[in-house]
Amino acid sequence: MQAVKAALIGIDPGGKPDFADSMAELGLLASSAGSQPVMTMIAKRAKPDPALYMGSGKATELREQMEANEVELAIFNHALSPVQQRNLERHLQCHVIDRTGLILDIFAQRAKSHVGKTQVQLANVRYQVSRLVKAWSHLERQKGGIGMRGGPGETQMELDRRMLENKAKRLQAELEKLQKQQATQRRSREKGGVFSVSLVGYTNAGKSTLFNALTKAGTYAADQLFATLDTTSRRVYLPEIGNAVISDTVGFIRDLPHQLVEAFRATLDETVRADLLLHVVDASSFDREQQMIEVDKVLTEIGANETPQLVVVNKIDQVPALMERGPVVRYDRSGKVAAIYISAKEGIGLDLMRQTLADFARNTDRMKAPVDEVPSVAELSSQAPVKRWESLDVFHTRTGMYSPFDA
Protein backbone atom coordinates (compact mmCIF):
# COMPACT_ATOMS: atom_id res chain seq x y z
CA MET A 1 0.00 0.00 0.00
CA GLN A 2 1.40 3.39 -1.03
CA ALA A 3 2.23 5.83 1.77
CA VAL A 4 0.13 8.98 2.01
CA LYS A 5 2.00 12.07 0.82
CA ALA A 6 2.35 14.62 3.61
CA ALA A 7 3.30 18.28 4.00
CA LEU A 8 5.20 19.38 7.10
CA ILE A 9 4.32 22.86 8.37
CA GLY A 10 5.88 24.92 11.12
CA ILE A 11 5.98 28.47 12.44
CA ASP A 12 9.41 29.97 13.05
CA PRO A 13 9.13 32.80 15.59
CA GLY A 14 12.86 33.49 15.29
CA GLY A 15 15.47 33.05 18.00
CA LYS A 16 14.50 29.44 18.70
CA PRO A 17 17.73 27.41 18.40
CA ASP A 18 16.03 24.01 18.29
CA PHE A 19 13.45 24.92 15.62
CA ALA A 20 15.29 23.15 12.76
CA ASP A 21 15.81 20.05 14.92
CA SER A 22 12.14 20.06 15.87
CA MET A 23 11.08 20.19 12.20
CA ALA A 24 13.50 17.40 11.29
CA GLU A 25 12.04 15.35 14.11
CA LEU A 26 8.53 16.02 12.78
CA GLY A 27 9.63 14.44 9.50
CA LEU A 28 10.85 11.33 11.35
CA LEU A 29 7.58 11.15 13.27
CA ALA A 30 5.59 11.44 10.04
CA SER A 31 7.61 8.63 8.44
CA SER A 32 7.22 6.50 11.58
CA ALA A 33 3.45 6.96 11.33
CA GLY A 34 3.52 5.59 7.77
CA SER A 35 3.23 8.77 5.71
CA GLN A 36 5.68 10.11 3.13
CA PRO A 37 6.79 13.72 3.73
CA VAL A 38 7.27 15.32 0.32
CA MET A 39 7.27 19.04 1.13
CA THR A 40 7.91 21.47 3.97
CA MET A 41 6.58 24.97 4.52
CA ILE A 42 7.84 27.40 7.16
CA ALA A 43 5.89 30.52 8.09
CA LYS A 44 7.82 33.23 9.90
CA ARG A 45 5.48 34.65 12.51
CA ALA A 46 5.90 35.88 16.07
CA LYS A 47 2.90 33.78 17.10
CA PRO A 48 0.32 31.54 15.39
CA ASP A 49 -2.74 33.06 13.73
CA PRO A 50 -5.77 32.18 15.92
CA ALA A 51 -7.90 31.21 12.91
CA LEU A 52 -5.56 29.56 10.39
CA TYR A 53 -2.35 29.07 12.41
CA MET A 54 -0.17 30.45 9.60
CA GLY A 55 -2.32 33.28 8.26
CA SER A 56 -4.65 33.26 5.25
CA GLY A 57 -1.98 34.19 2.68
CA LYS A 58 0.39 31.39 3.70
CA ALA A 59 -2.53 28.95 4.01
CA THR A 60 -3.55 29.69 0.41
CA GLU A 61 0.06 29.27 -0.75
CA LEU A 62 0.20 25.95 1.10
CA ARG A 63 -3.01 24.73 -0.53
CA GLU A 64 -1.67 25.55 -4.01
CA GLN A 65 1.62 23.74 -3.36
CA MET A 66 -0.17 20.74 -1.89
CA GLU A 67 -2.43 20.51 -4.94
CA ALA A 68 0.59 20.73 -7.26
CA ASN A 69 2.34 17.92 -5.37
CA GLU A 70 -0.82 15.82 -4.86
CA VAL A 71 -0.40 15.96 -1.08
CA GLU A 72 -3.28 14.56 0.98
CA LEU A 73 -2.13 15.21 4.56
CA ALA A 74 -0.97 18.38 6.35
CA ILE A 75 1.07 17.83 9.54
CA PHE A 76 1.65 20.84 11.79
CA ASN A 77 4.58 21.02 14.19
CA HIS A 78 2.45 22.69 16.85
CA ALA A 79 -0.61 21.96 18.95
CA LEU A 80 -3.57 23.20 16.90
CA SER A 81 -6.72 24.40 18.59
CA PRO A 82 -9.93 22.66 17.45
CA VAL A 83 -10.94 25.88 15.66
CA GLN A 84 -7.61 26.10 13.81
CA GLN A 85 -7.81 22.45 12.77
CA ARG A 86 -11.38 22.81 11.51
CA ASN A 87 -10.60 26.01 9.58
CA LEU A 88 -7.46 24.51 8.04
CA GLU A 89 -9.28 21.38 6.88
CA ARG A 90 -11.89 23.57 5.23
CA HIS A 91 -9.27 25.82 3.63
CA LEU A 92 -6.85 23.10 2.52
CA GLN A 93 -9.52 20.53 1.66
CA CYS A 94 -7.48 17.74 3.22
CA HIS A 95 -6.90 15.93 6.49
CA VAL A 96 -4.99 18.03 9.06
CA ILE A 97 -3.16 16.69 12.11
CA ASP A 98 -0.92 18.35 14.70
CA ARG A 99 2.17 17.04 16.48
CA THR A 100 0.19 15.71 19.44
CA GLY A 101 -2.26 13.85 17.21
CA LEU A 102 0.63 12.43 15.20
CA ILE A 103 2.38 11.04 18.29
CA LEU A 104 -0.89 9.56 19.54
CA ASP A 105 -1.37 7.90 16.15
CA ILE A 106 2.10 6.33 16.32
CA PHE A 107 1.43 5.05 19.83
CA ALA A 108 -1.87 3.53 18.67
CA GLN A 109 -0.05 1.69 15.87
CA ARG A 110 2.80 0.41 18.06
CA ALA A 111 1.00 -0.71 21.23
CA LYS A 112 1.15 -4.51 21.47
CA SER A 113 0.30 -5.53 25.04
CA HIS A 114 -3.05 -5.20 26.76
CA VAL A 115 -1.57 -2.59 29.11
CA GLY A 116 -0.08 -0.62 26.22
CA LYS A 117 -3.29 -0.65 24.18
CA THR A 118 -5.36 0.39 27.19
CA GLN A 119 -3.00 3.27 27.94
CA VAL A 120 -3.12 4.51 24.35
CA GLN A 121 -6.93 4.34 24.33
CA LEU A 122 -7.05 6.37 27.54
CA ALA A 123 -4.66 8.98 26.13
CA ASN A 124 -6.77 9.28 22.98
CA VAL A 125 -10.01 9.66 24.93
CA ARG A 126 -8.49 12.37 27.14
CA TYR A 127 -7.20 14.12 24.02
CA GLN A 128 -10.68 14.06 22.49
CA VAL A 129 -12.30 15.37 25.68
CA SER A 130 -9.84 18.27 25.79
CA ARG A 131 -10.71 19.21 22.20
CA LEU A 132 -14.44 18.72 22.22
CA VAL A 133 -15.27 21.27 19.59
CA LYS A 134 -16.71 18.94 17.01
CA ALA A 135 -16.69 19.19 13.25
CA TRP A 136 -18.66 22.03 11.69
CA SER A 137 -21.74 19.84 11.31
CA HIS A 138 -21.97 19.70 15.10
CA LEU A 139 -21.33 23.41 15.43
CA GLU A 140 -24.08 24.21 12.95
CA ARG A 141 -26.55 22.23 15.07
CA GLN A 142 -25.82 24.43 18.09
CA LYS A 143 -27.91 27.33 16.85
CA GLY A 144 -30.91 27.92 19.09
CA GLY A 145 -34.00 30.03 18.62
CA ILE A 146 -34.63 33.50 20.02
CA GLY A 147 -34.46 33.47 23.79
CA MET A 148 -33.06 29.92 23.80
CA ARG A 149 -29.73 28.87 25.30
CA GLY A 150 -28.06 26.89 22.59
CA GLY A 151 -30.02 24.09 20.98
CA PRO A 152 -29.82 20.44 20.00
CA GLY A 153 -26.12 20.77 19.20
CA GLU A 154 -25.28 21.79 22.73
CA THR A 155 -27.10 18.71 23.98
CA GLN A 156 -25.19 16.57 21.48
CA MET A 157 -21.84 17.92 22.65
CA GLU A 158 -22.80 17.30 26.27
CA LEU A 159 -23.70 13.72 25.37
CA ASP A 160 -20.41 13.28 23.52
CA ARG A 161 -18.46 14.62 26.47
CA ARG A 162 -20.30 12.38 28.93
CA MET A 163 -19.72 9.35 26.72
CA LEU A 164 -15.98 10.06 26.47
CA GLU A 165 -15.64 10.77 30.18
CA ASN A 166 -17.40 7.49 31.04
CA LYS A 167 -15.08 5.63 28.68
CA ALA A 168 -12.07 7.31 30.31
CA LYS A 169 -13.29 6.19 33.75
CA ARG A 170 -13.62 2.58 32.56
CA LEU A 171 -10.14 2.60 31.05
CA GLN A 172 -8.66 4.25 34.14
CA ALA A 173 -10.23 1.60 36.39
CA GLU A 174 -8.81 -1.14 34.17
CA LEU A 175 -5.36 0.42 34.31
CA GLU A 176 -5.49 0.73 38.08
CA LYS A 177 -6.24 -3.00 38.29
CA LEU A 178 -3.24 -3.75 36.07
CA GLN A 179 -1.06 -1.43 38.16
CA LYS A 180 -1.96 -3.38 41.29
CA GLN A 181 -0.80 -6.58 39.61
CA GLN A 182 2.49 -4.90 38.65
CA ALA A 183 2.90 -3.57 42.19
CA THR A 184 2.53 -7.10 43.60
CA GLN A 185 5.29 -8.36 41.29
CA ARG A 186 7.50 -5.40 42.19
CA ARG A 187 7.05 -5.93 45.94
CA SER A 188 8.13 -9.53 45.49
CA ARG A 189 11.37 -8.33 43.88
CA GLU A 190 11.93 -5.70 46.55
CA LYS A 191 11.52 -8.25 49.34
CA GLY A 192 14.26 -10.30 47.73
CA GLY A 193 16.58 -7.28 47.76
CA VAL A 194 17.04 -7.41 43.98
CA PHE A 195 18.84 -4.39 42.51
CA SER A 196 16.59 -2.80 39.85
CA VAL A 197 17.61 -0.69 36.86
CA SER A 198 15.41 1.17 34.36
CA LEU A 199 16.44 2.37 30.93
CA VAL A 200 15.29 5.88 30.07
CA GLY A 201 16.16 8.20 27.23
CA TYR A 202 15.06 10.02 24.13
CA THR A 203 13.25 7.87 21.60
CA ASN A 204 15.60 6.00 19.24
CA ALA A 205 18.62 6.48 21.54
CA GLY A 206 19.17 2.70 21.55
CA LYS A 207 17.54 1.64 24.83
CA SER A 208 16.02 -1.57 23.48
CA THR A 209 19.24 -2.49 21.70
CA LEU A 210 21.14 -2.09 24.98
CA PHE A 211 18.44 -4.04 26.82
CA ASN A 212 18.76 -6.92 24.35
CA ALA A 213 22.56 -6.83 24.46
CA LEU A 214 22.60 -7.08 28.27
CA THR A 215 19.80 -9.64 28.66
CA LYS A 216 19.56 -11.40 25.27
CA ALA A 217 15.80 -10.89 25.58
CA GLY A 218 15.00 -10.40 21.90
CA THR A 219 12.80 -7.35 22.54
CA TYR A 220 11.80 -5.53 19.35
CA ALA A 221 14.39 -2.90 18.49
CA ALA A 222 14.43 -0.80 15.33
CA ASP A 223 15.91 2.42 13.98
CA GLN A 224 12.63 4.28 14.33
CA LEU A 225 10.84 6.50 16.81
CA PHE A 226 8.83 4.76 19.54
CA ALA A 227 9.77 1.20 18.58
CA THR A 228 9.09 0.25 22.23
CA LEU A 229 5.92 1.19 24.10
CA ASP A 230 5.58 -1.56 26.67
CA THR A 231 7.74 -2.15 29.73
CA THR A 232 9.76 -5.35 29.55
CA SER A 233 11.74 -6.56 32.57
CA ARG A 234 14.44 -9.23 32.50
CA ARG A 235 17.20 -10.54 34.70
CA VAL A 236 20.75 -9.43 34.03
CA TYR A 237 23.80 -11.01 35.65
CA LEU A 238 26.22 -8.62 37.36
CA PRO A 239 29.75 -9.74 38.34
CA GLU A 240 30.11 -10.60 42.05
CA ILE A 241 26.52 -9.44 42.65
CA GLY A 242 24.35 -12.01 40.92
CA ASN A 243 21.04 -11.31 39.26
CA ALA A 244 19.56 -7.83 38.96
CA VAL A 245 16.41 -6.70 37.15
CA ILE A 246 16.58 -4.32 34.21
CA SER A 247 13.51 -2.73 32.60
CA ASP A 248 13.08 -1.22 29.14
CA THR A 249 10.22 1.19 28.57
CA VAL A 250 8.85 3.89 26.26
CA GLY A 251 11.20 6.57 24.97
CA PHE A 252 10.62 10.27 25.49
CA ILE A 253 10.46 13.13 23.00
CA ARG A 254 10.16 16.92 23.10
CA ASP A 255 6.62 18.16 23.59
CA LEU A 256 5.48 14.69 24.65
CA PRO A 257 1.69 15.08 25.01
CA HIS A 258 0.63 15.41 28.63
CA GLN A 259 -2.22 12.97 27.96
CA LEU A 260 0.35 10.28 27.11
CA VAL A 261 2.45 10.93 30.20
CA GLU A 262 -0.65 10.67 32.38
CA ALA A 263 -2.06 7.60 30.61
CA PHE A 264 1.29 5.78 30.64
CA ARG A 265 1.67 5.98 34.43
CA ALA A 266 1.35 2.19 34.62
CA THR A 267 4.29 1.75 32.25
CA LEU A 268 6.39 4.58 33.66
CA ASP A 269 5.91 3.42 37.24
CA GLU A 270 8.84 1.00 36.80
CA THR A 271 11.02 4.04 36.16
CA VAL A 272 9.94 5.76 39.37
CA ARG A 273 10.60 2.65 41.47
CA ALA A 274 14.04 1.76 40.09
CA ASP A 275 17.22 1.89 42.19
CA LEU A 276 19.13 3.34 39.22
CA LEU A 277 18.20 4.99 35.92
CA LEU A 278 20.38 4.40 32.88
CA HIS A 279 19.88 7.57 30.83
CA VAL A 280 20.75 6.38 27.31
CA VAL A 281 21.99 9.15 24.99
CA ASP A 282 22.62 8.96 21.23
CA ALA A 283 26.24 10.10 20.85
CA SER A 284 25.72 10.73 17.12
CA SER A 285 22.83 13.17 17.62
CA PHE A 286 23.72 16.85 17.23
CA ASP A 287 20.76 17.66 19.47
CA ARG A 288 21.79 15.27 22.27
CA GLU A 289 22.10 17.81 25.08
CA GLN A 290 18.63 19.25 24.39
CA GLN A 291 17.30 15.69 24.24
CA MET A 292 18.76 15.04 27.69
CA ILE A 293 16.95 18.12 28.99
CA GLU A 294 13.66 16.90 27.49
CA VAL A 295 14.10 13.50 29.16
CA ASP A 296 14.76 15.18 32.50
CA LYS A 297 11.54 17.20 32.10
CA VAL A 298 9.49 14.02 31.78
CA LEU A 299 11.34 12.36 34.67
CA THR A 300 10.43 15.36 36.81
CA GLU A 301 6.79 15.15 35.69
CA ILE A 302 6.51 11.48 36.71
CA GLY A 303 8.40 11.97 39.99
CA ALA A 304 11.59 10.13 39.01
CA ASN A 305 13.94 13.13 39.07
CA GLU A 306 15.47 12.13 42.42
CA THR A 307 16.36 8.58 41.37
CA PRO A 308 20.14 8.04 40.94
CA GLN A 309 21.09 8.35 37.29
CA LEU A 310 23.97 7.14 35.12
CA VAL A 311 24.38 8.57 31.62
CA VAL A 312 25.06 5.91 28.98
CA VAL A 313 26.56 7.54 25.89
CA ASN A 314 25.54 5.03 23.22
CA LYS A 315 26.40 4.63 19.51
CA ILE A 316 30.05 5.66 19.93
CA ASP A 317 30.76 3.57 16.82
CA GLN A 318 29.15 6.40 14.83
CA VAL A 319 31.48 9.06 16.27
CA PRO A 320 35.14 8.50 15.20
CA ALA A 321 36.59 10.67 18.00
CA LEU A 322 34.78 8.59 20.62
CA MET A 323 35.70 5.30 18.95
CA GLU A 324 39.39 6.23 19.19
CA ARG A 325 39.07 6.29 22.98
CA GLY A 326 36.94 3.16 23.02
CA PRO A 327 34.61 2.27 25.90
CA VAL A 328 35.37 4.36 28.95
CA VAL A 329 33.86 5.43 32.26
CA ARG A 330 33.91 9.10 33.26
CA TYR A 331 33.67 10.43 36.79
CA ASP A 332 32.37 13.63 38.33
CA ARG A 333 34.44 15.87 40.60
CA SER A 334 33.63 13.81 43.68
CA GLY A 335 34.85 10.62 42.04
CA LYS A 336 31.45 9.07 41.39
CA VAL A 337 30.65 7.49 38.04
CA ALA A 338 28.80 10.01 35.85
CA ALA A 339 28.86 8.57 32.33
CA ILE A 340 29.88 5.46 30.43
CA TYR A 341 30.61 5.30 26.68
CA ILE A 342 29.51 2.21 24.73
CA SER A 343 28.00 0.89 21.51
CA ALA A 344 25.19 -1.52 22.31
CA LYS A 345 24.69 -2.50 18.67
CA GLU A 346 28.35 -3.41 18.17
CA GLY A 347 28.74 -4.92 21.64
CA ILE A 348 31.43 -2.40 22.59
CA GLY A 349 31.79 -1.77 26.33
CA LEU A 350 29.14 -4.24 27.54
CA ASP A 351 31.48 -5.95 30.03
CA LEU A 352 32.43 -2.51 31.36
CA MET A 353 28.70 -1.71 31.56
CA ARG A 354 27.99 -4.82 33.65
CA GLN A 355 30.92 -4.11 35.96
CA THR A 356 29.82 -0.49 36.40
CA LEU A 357 26.29 -1.63 37.29
CA ALA A 358 27.76 -4.11 39.77
CA ASP A 359 29.76 -1.29 41.39
CA PHE A 360 26.60 0.81 41.69
CA ALA A 361 24.71 -2.10 43.25
CA ARG A 362 27.55 -2.81 45.67
CA ASN A 363 28.22 0.79 46.68
CA THR A 364 24.72 2.24 46.77
CA ASP A 365 24.89 3.16 50.46
CA ARG A 366 28.42 4.56 50.20
CA MET A 367 27.35 6.79 47.28
CA LYS A 368 25.31 8.95 49.65
CA ALA A 369 26.76 11.83 51.63
CA PRO A 370 25.43 14.29 54.23
CA VAL A 371 23.86 17.43 52.79
CA ASP A 372 26.44 19.74 54.42
CA GLU A 373 29.25 18.04 52.44
CA VAL A 374 27.69 18.88 49.08
CA PRO A 375 29.26 21.90 47.31
CA SER A 376 27.09 24.78 46.19
CA VAL A 377 26.02 25.25 42.58
CA ALA A 378 28.43 28.22 42.34
CA GLU A 379 31.33 26.01 43.44
CA LEU A 380 30.39 23.34 40.92
CA SER A 381 30.09 25.93 38.15
CA SER A 382 33.59 27.22 38.86
CA GLN A 383 35.08 23.72 38.72
CA ALA A 384 33.58 22.30 35.50
CA PRO A 385 30.83 22.77 32.91
CA VAL A 386 27.57 21.96 34.67
CA LYS A 387 24.84 20.04 32.88
CA ARG A 388 23.05 19.48 36.19
CA TRP A 389 23.99 19.61 39.85
CA GLU A 390 23.45 17.29 42.76
CA SER A 391 22.00 17.53 46.25
CA LEU A 392 22.40 14.43 48.36
CA ASP A 393 20.63 13.29 51.47
CA VAL A 394 20.42 10.00 53.30
CA PHE A 395 17.59 8.80 51.09
CA HIS A 396 18.19 10.06 47.56
CA THR A 397 20.97 10.84 45.14
CA ARG A 398 19.87 13.34 42.51
CA THR A 399 21.51 13.44 39.13
CA GLY A 400 25.17 14.35 39.37
CA MET A 401 27.22 17.15 37.88
CA TYR A 402 29.06 16.12 34.73
CA SER A 403 29.78 17.11 31.17
CA PRO A 404 29.86 13.79 29.31
CA PHE A 405 30.56 15.29 25.90
CA ASP A 406 33.70 17.21 26.84
CA ALA A 407 36.89 15.81 25.39
CATH of the domain at 302: 3.40.50.300
- Using the 8-state DSSP alphabet, how is residue 146 labeled? T
Q: Is 341 annotated as a binding residue?
A: no
Q: Is 21 annotated as a binding residue?
A: no
Asked if 251 and 335 sit in the same domain, the reply is yes
Q: Is 229 annotated as a binding residue?
A: yes
Integer angstrom CA distances of residue 77 from 42, 126, 171, 355: 10, 20, 29, 42
Q: Is 228 annotated as a binding residue?
A: yes
Last residue of one domain, picked from the residues 106, 121, 138: 106
Asked if 257 and 376 sit in the same domain, the reply is yes
Q: Is 205 annotated as a binding residue?
A: yes
* Distance between CA atoms of residues 178 and 354, nearest Å: 31
Show the domain range for 208.
194-383
Environment class of 147 (CB within 10 Å of its CB; exposed 0-12, middle 13-18, buried 19+): exposed
Q: Is 106 annotated as a binding residue?
A: no
> Residue ranges of the alpha helices (H) in 216-325?
258-263, 265-273, 288-301, 320-325
Asked if 199 and 134 sit in the same domain, the reply is no
Q: Is 344 annotated as a binding residue?
A: yes
Asked if 224 and 283 sit in the same domain, the reply is yes
Dihedrals phi, psi of 207, to nearest 5 degrees? -60, -50
Max CA-CA distance within the chain? 81
- Report yes or no on 290 lying in a domain: yes
Q: Please check whether residue 259 is in contact with residue 127, taking contact to mean a CB–CB distance below 8 angstroms.
A: yes
Q: Please check whether residue 339 is in contact with residue 310, taking contact to mean a CB–CB distance below 8 angstroms.
A: yes
- Report yes or no on 182 lying in a domain: no
Asked if 229 and 347 sit in the same domain, the reply is yes
- Using the 8-state DSSP alphabet, how is residue 255 labeled? T
Q: Is 226 annotated as a binding residue?
A: yes
Asked if 144 and 204 sit in the same domain, the reply is no
Q: Please check whether residue 254 is in contact with residue 115, taking contact to mean a CB–CB distance below 8 angstroms.
A: no
What is the bridge-based pairing of β-strands 309-314 and 276-282? parallel
Q: Is 343 annotated as a binding residue?
A: yes
* Distance between CA atoms of residues 221 and 198, nearest Å: 16
Asked if 157 and 226 sit in the same domain, the reply is no
Tell which residue, 122, 120, 107, 99, has the closest CA to residue 30. 99
Q: Is 317 annotated as a binding residue?
A: yes
- Using the 8-state DSSP alphabet, how is residue 345 labeled? T
Q: Is 5 annotated as a binding residue?
A: no
Kindly report the pTM of this predicted structure: 0.72
Q: Is 204 annotated as a binding residue?
A: yes
Asked if 164 and 198 sit in the same domain, the reply is no
> Residue ranges of the alpha helices (H) in 13-132?
19-32, 56-68, 82-92, 99-110, 114-130
CATH number at residue 27: 3.40.50.11060
- Report yes or no on 186 lying in a domain: no
- Report yes or no on 178 lying in a domain: no
Q: Is 53 annotated as a binding residue?
A: no
Q: Is 18 annotated as a binding residue?
A: no
Q: In what order do the strands lie in the sheet with 5-12?
A: 36-44, 5-12, 73-76, 95-98
Residues in contact with 139: Cβ distance below 8 Å, sequence separation at least 6, in sequence order:
86, 133, 153
Last residue of one domain, picked from the residues 106, 133, 148: 106
Q: Is 397 annotated as a binding residue?
A: no
Asked if 265 and 358 sit in the same domain, the reply is yes
Asked if 64 and 168 sit in the same domain, the reply is no
Tell which residue, 361, 340, 339, has the closest CA to residue 196. 361
* Distance between CA atoms of residues 138 and 161, nearest Å: 13
Q: Is 269 annotated as a binding residue?
A: no
* Distance between CA atoms of residues 262 and 120, nearest Å: 10
- Report yes or no on 184 lying in a domain: no
Q: Is 127 annotated as a binding residue?
A: no
Q: Please check whether residue 122 is in contact with residue 175, taking contact to mean a CB–CB distance below 8 angstroms.
A: yes
Integer angstrom CA distances of residue 167 from 19, 109, 122, 164: 37, 20, 8, 5
Tell which residue, 294, 247, 281, 244, has the closest CA to residue 266. 247
- Supply the pLDDT for residue 380: 32
Bridge partners, 393 (sequence order): none
Q: Is 6 annotated as a binding residue?
A: no
- Report yes or no on 407 lying in a domain: no
pLDDT tens-place values along the chain, 407 residues long: 578 999 999 999 887 777 888 899 899 889 988 899 999 999 999 889 999 999 999 999 999 999 999 999 999 998 898 889 999 999 999 999 999 899 888 888 877 778 778 888 888 888 888 777 544 444 444 444 434 445 554 567 778 888 888 998 999 898 888 777 766 766 665 555 788 899 999 988 999 899 999 988 655 555 555 555 557 788 898 998 888 989 888 778 887 777 777 767 666 776 778 899 999 999 998 888 889 998 998 888 888 888 899 999 999 999 999 999 889 999 888 888 889 999 999 999 999 999 999 998 887 643 333 333 333 333 333 333 333 333 322 222 333 333 444 43
Asked if 296 and 211 sit in the same domain, the reply is yes
- Number of separate domains in the chain: 3
Q: Is 81 annotated as a binding residue?
A: no
- Report yes or no on 140 lying in a domain: yes
Q: Is 202 annotated as a binding residue?
A: yes
Asked if 207 and 340 sit in the same domain, the reply is yes
Helices then strands, each counted (H, E), the chain: 14, 11
- Report yes or no on 189 lying in a domain: no
Give the angle subtended at the CA of 337 by the CAs of 277 and 236, to the nearest 5°. Answer: 45
What is the bridge-based pairing of β-strands 196-201 and 276-282? parallel
